[in-house]
């Protein structure tokens, strides 16, 4: 049969913005895992009306790989507290004593605990939820949060917290940006979610404030909420949730082993910037003058993490000893982190490269939400080494004198009684 040749032009495939973001995120995350030697990880990105990606990465890891959230599990406790608040069974403004049925006030409210005005063991919040709901904390989280969201693979384990898969975590993130659950209901009413995500506390005008459960981050002119976590101070699994309320977008990242501050800064510097490109920044929060050069000199020294004054974790900033040196009005940070902080209005500093603010308040140096206190000379490990070296040198000197002048140092008396004249045999 006769045929006719038809010329067909090449069709250009145009990928949506969300597809471009996920393509980019996939490449960045895989590259960071390989660079830092992390065995496997998970990355989830959601918007109000869709799950853009919920994937695991690494060798021999399937989509059902599980991740222990550790301290990031506290976010589930915050959601539980907000559910009980909207039901009238918890009241954030009341003293914690009321939540525990105690007669003597504690001087701390549930609002203080949720907004990180005070540090505190996460068991305090769990106990308040148990008292208000009448069921064990793990049971409450399972029946009121995990099950309604369809997080069938996830579970709560005592001493570990929430263990999740990437797919399940996409459902939780969707609820945090206001999406409805499968049955059409909200996990939290929109008004309650708004209360949870507004600012409740700030230590300094330039430092991140706190919503309920999340530290604020100001980046590219956008206000974001961030909470990082790990299983314990000395264990490896790490994870992070970032929410950009104005965009109804959030992402979650988790790694199987300790990735280090550079990993998390690189993720922030690339993924966040692609999801929320720079827009016009807000005006300076204060017209106060920038710190003088001697201000930088005054706070130079070695600092250690001060967990007692705030239990925020910011994985992009290390929790090891921090050395601060003045360079004119600038601060040079070193240790396991190298960063230059420039003075800004409000008597504070900021890393322009990583968009991390810093301030010195009541003897505590705040780098983002992480707190550090100056190490006294007697606490400094270098001082300990110097003292140990001095003692070792003195010991060698005494031994040398003992060997050369045995009678002077009593060697004849102690080592050989007969060699010491005037002593009885």
- Residue-level pLDDT at 146: 97
Write down the architecture of domain 293-375 according to CATH.
Answer: Beta Barrel (2.40)
- Residue-level pLDDT at 101: 86
Query: How many Cα atoms occupy the beta-carbon half-sphere of 206 within 13 Å?
Result: 25
- Residue-level pLDDT at 252: 97
- Residue-level pLDDT at 279: 84
pTM over 0.85: no
pLDDT digits (tens, 9 = 90+) for 227-264: 988 876 655 789 999 999 999 999 999 998 878 888 99
Residue ranges in the chain whose pLDDT is less than 70: 1-15, 119-121, 232-235, 280-294, 307-319, 336, 377-387, 402, 405-425
pLDDT digits (tens, 9 = 90+) for 265-317: 899 889 999 999 998 654 444 444 444 444 788 888 998 887 644 445 666 66
- Residue-level pLDDT at 414: 44
pLDDT digits (tens, 9 = 90+) for 48-69: 889 999 999 987 777 779 999 9
Cβ atoms 305, 266 nearer than 8 A: no
CATH number of 17-275: 3.40.710.10
- Residue-level pLDDT at 283: 47
| Residue-range domain boundaries for the chain | 17-275, 293-375, 389-419
């Amino acid at each position: 049969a006769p045929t006719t040749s038809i010329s067909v032009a090449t069709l250009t495939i145009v990928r949506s913005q969300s597809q471009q973001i996920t393509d980019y995120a996939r490449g960045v995350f895989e590259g960071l895992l390989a660079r830092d030697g992390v065995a496997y990880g998970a990355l989830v990105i959601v918007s109000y009306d869709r799950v853009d990606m919920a994937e695991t990465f690494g060798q021999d890891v399937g989509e059902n790989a599980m991740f222990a959230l550790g301290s990031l599990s506290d976010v589930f406790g915050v959601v539980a507290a907000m559910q009980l608040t909207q039901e009238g069974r918890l009241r954030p403004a009341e003293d914690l004593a009321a939540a525990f049925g105690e007669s003597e006030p504690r001087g701390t409210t549930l609002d203080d605990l949720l907004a990180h005005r005070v540090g505190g063991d996460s068991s305090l919040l769990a106990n308040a939820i148990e008292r208000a709901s009448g069921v064990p904390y793990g049971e409450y989280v399972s029946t009121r949060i995990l099950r309604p969201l369809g997080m069938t693979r996830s579970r709560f384990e005592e001493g570990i917290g929430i263990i999740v898969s990437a797919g399940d975590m996409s459902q939780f993130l969707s609820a945090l940006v206001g999406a409805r659950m499968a049955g059409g209901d909200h996990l939290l009413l929109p008004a309650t979610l708004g209360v949870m995500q507004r600012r409740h506390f700030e230590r300094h005008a330039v430092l991140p404030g706190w919503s309920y459960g999340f530290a604020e981050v100001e980046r590219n002119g956008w206000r974001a909420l961030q909470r990082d976590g790990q299983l314990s101070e000395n264990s490896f699994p790490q994870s992070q949730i970032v929410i950009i309320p104005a965009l109804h977008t959030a992402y979650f990242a988790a790694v199987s082993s300790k990735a280090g501050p550079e990993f998390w800064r690189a993720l922030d510097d690339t993924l966040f910037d692609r999801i929320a490109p720079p827009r016009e920044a807000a005006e300076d929060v204060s017209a106060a003058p920038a710190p003088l050069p001697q201000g930088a000199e005054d706070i130079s020294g070695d600092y250690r993490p001060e967990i007692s004054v705030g239990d925020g974790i910011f994985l992009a900033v290390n929790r090891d000893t921090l050395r601060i040196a003045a360079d004119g009005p600038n601060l040079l940070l070193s240790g396991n982190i190298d960063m230059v902080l420039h003075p800004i209005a409000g008597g504070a500093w900021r890393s322009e490269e990583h968009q991390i603010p810093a301030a010195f308040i009541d003897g505590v140096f705040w780098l983002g939400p992480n707190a550090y206190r100056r190490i006294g000379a007697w606490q400094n490990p270098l001082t300990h080494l110097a003292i140990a070296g001095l003692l070792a040198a003195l010991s060698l000197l005494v031994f040398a004198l003992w060997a050369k002048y045995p009678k002077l140092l009593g060697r004849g008396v102690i080592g050989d009684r007969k060699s010491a004249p005037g002593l009885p045999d």
